[in-house]
Chains A and B, each alone.
Chain A
Amino acid sequence: MALVTEEALKQRLAEGKLVETKEQMSPRYLEGIIRILTVSADTELISAPAYYLAAQDAPNINAFVSAMGIIQDELGHAHIAYRILEDLGVDKNKLIYERKPEEFKYPYAFDVPLETWVELVVANAFYDRAGFVLLGDVFKHGKFGPWKRALAKVDKEENFHLRHGEMWMRKLVLQPDGREKLQRAVDWMFPLTVEWFGLPDNLKRHTEQIEYGFKGSSNDELRQQWLSTAVPLCEELGLEVPAHYDASTGKYVLDFPFPSRFVAEEKRWLFEEGPISWDEVLERWKARGPKNKEFVESVQRGYRDFLQTEKLAS
């Protein structure tokens, strides 16, 4: 099926029409939408094993059910994005089960293990908030019809996840040692989520994302949106975060060298070494973090075993 020219696509977008099918895309558009949908799908998928590791630390059965409910939602969201990719001609099974762990394109944060209930609920409050901000933007401003419509459900569910995180943070902060435990989690997870939004606007390479309406706001705008609710939450709970609101510019300002070096194995930032280059961050992202292999393999294991059994039977 022939794709349209760049001009025809731009004309369509200028008329305020949504892009609905592959036949309405230019080759460059198709490549871009596949890239962004893959990131979204991979993020949702890998959040499942990442959250499951910590869900096993749930303090009671209802809390465990809530965590498993969140994991089920995430798998549903992953399915939505992979399903749309399938409509765009991508082989879904190959994408999920036959890529190498390092070829997955989810945020680095999920490669750093969440090991306690405290870390899980902070992840709900921080990471799911990032998901809510990023996907909420696509839902509101996106120009690719199938994804935009599917996100109505995702938007609502991500809101539940971040509220779950907030509710538990409010409970935990009242416990003896609760604030200290939360603070330790916030210390490494806050900068990791700030980093999640990617390169600052002045260094961004893929400019087609806004031009094509894959999203409506820039990386820096979305990062500000996240800070505008994450910082007040932490302040309300008496948790220290390395960012503050600057009334003169109406923006949140980071109080740590950004970007910074991170020691994943120790969950520790080396702020004292000062800011590093984004090239170094991109290198760390590309090399992936401690849990990448384990999480991807846990997702792929059943598929491989099944194929193996089939092969032996035939």
Chain B
Amino acid sequence: MKKLPVIQQPPPPDFDVQSTSEPERSLWQALKTVLDPEYPISVVDMGLIYGLEKHDGEVRVKLTFTAMGCPCMEMIIDDIRTCLKKQPGIETVHIEIVWDPPWTRARLSQAAIEQFRQWGITV
């Protein structure tokens, strides 16, 4: 297997996926449609995606969870894989689970925080 470049530190919580460049931009946009199973907020806005790189037909994702005992791990992994596999030109999806740096509420985007507030949930 071709060695892929190392993914750097996670993007800042409020980074604009539009600021990325193709081919990754359309994949980031696709991930904006993958929702956390517990609260319908995208995995991007939840700050769970620590990195994303495309190389030929292969996409590599660094994914974290809000907690090590997250009950939705399988579901989130499945949903991300299904979503990315549907994107044009993607043959393989590698999902690497990372725990460093640990997820905190600071990883939530402003849009996510506002959505939680609308539901009456303080974050």
Contact = CB atoms under 8 A, between A and B. Distances in A.
Nearest to B69: A65
A163 interface: yes
A69 interface: yes
Given A156-B38, A160-B38, A65 B75 contact: no
A160 B37 CA distance: 5
A153 B73 contact: no
Contacts of B74: 62-63, 66, 167
Interface string B94-116: 00000000000000000000000
Interface residues of B, number: 15
Contacts of A72: 71
A114 B71 CA distance: 20
A162 to B, nearest CB: 10
B38 A157 contact: yes
A164 interface: yes
Chain A contact residues: helix, strand, loop or mixed: helix
A233 interface: no
Interface in A66-119: 66-70, 72
Interface in B33-71: 37-40, 69-71
A152 interface: yes
A149 B73 CA distance: 28
Contacts of B37: 159-160, 163-164
Contacts of B69: 65, 69
Nearest to A149: B120
